[in-house]
Amino acid sequence: MLKEKSYARGTHPDLPPPSSEAGFTGWCRKNLFSTPADTIFTILALYVLYSIVPGLIQWAFIDAVYVAENRQECWKLMETPASAACWAFTSVRLNQLLYGFYPETEIWRVNLSFVLLFVAITPVLFDKVPFRRPLFIFTTLYPFIAGWLIFGWFALPPVASQDIGGLALTLIIGVTGIAFSLPLGILLALGRTSNLPVIKILSVLFIEFIRGVPLIALLFIASTMLNYFMPPGTTFDLLVRVLIMVTLFASAYMAEVIRGGIAGIPKGQVEAAHAAGLSYWKTMYLIVMPQVLKISIPGIVNTFIGLFKDTTLVLIIGMFDLLGMGKAALTNLNWAGLHREMYLFVAVVFFICCYGMSLYSGYLERKLDTENKFQKK
């Protein structure tokens, strides 16, 4: 018979946790089956997934047809017509979905402009980047470089804005609105919290008017009525008008997000900054705004995501974004009836873009969460 080893008080080594409390089993017990209610909801969720996911995978991937010339040929390759996805539609119409009616020989310009976009936003999104300061200069010049590449000028053949569509148009409107609505929203928020009556009243009127009018109405104003207020003979490109309206619309909502962050900063910090001799703008730049932007990250990114999805509304005024180009492609009799494939493709593209913004938002929150870092230390 083995003799049990004895230990002095306080010298017994730590034992590993029970197998039922560690690893995957422990995680399931803690997060999925910790209470009777959690167990019921977990079983219901698993049943729903079991009912939907296998059929979706079968329809979208296993039985799907990827190569065909038209819908009829696609359906002939299936056991039952329309019983699976016909992804040949997206492969045949891919250029149209991505670039609209942009000349095929000039598509490289759009591709290059979006590659340079990633280079331009890298020093803005990440601080540990080689040659960050020179890259900031490129970021400042990028809007002019992208405009030259996409629309043409000086050695590049011009392309009309009406020819730009699909995902390219969605990204142009979304990126422009996101880039300019944040600084404009900060100025509007500062104006609304200002002690100067004229600036405060003008900021309040602008924010409340924009928030009180639907974006569709503003787009109609941009497409039809804006020219009536311009001098005779003056023309404004429709895309430029849309970019201005979308930016103004998003900036009003952004201003309220920033104002909520400003309200969360103790007044004592501002008073202490003034007592130390800092001017209003230095106080805002060095003390208030860094904290405001930190605590407002979820609201800011939420506004960005809403703005990006609202780009589909430009179809109302005759501009063909990704969703509009997909609908236009289905008017071709060779591909009529493939609505499920088109909507799923558009949904996946929007999900990837919006989820990417959400992931970066989470990364930024964790990076700037100094309170929890100090608590852990």
Going by C-alpha positions, the residue among 162, 149, 151 that lies closest to residue 108 is 149
Mean pLDDT score of the chain: 90
What number is the average pLDDT over the span 148-153?
Answer: 91
Q: How confident is the model at residue 176 (pLDDT cuts 50, 70, 90)?
A: very high
Q: How confident is the model at residue 194 (pLDDT cuts 50, 70, 90)?
A: very high
Q: Residue ranges of the alpha helices (H) in the chain?
A: 23-31, 36-57, 71-76, 88-92, 94-99, 107-125, 132-151, 166-192, 197-212, 215-220, 238-263, 267-275, 280-283, 289-295, 297-310, 322-329, 339-368, 370-376
Q: Per-residue pLDDT for 79 more than 90?
A: no
Classify domain 88-102+159-370 at the CATH superfamily level: MetI-like (1.10.3720.10)
Per-domain residue ranges of the chain: 88-102+159-370, 103-158
Q: Per-residue pLDDT for 252 more than 70?
A: yes
Regarding pTM above 0.85, the answer is yes
Three-state secondary structure string covering 348-362:
HHHHHHHHHHHHHHH
Q: How confident is the model at residue 370 (pLDDT cuts 50, 70, 90)?
A: low
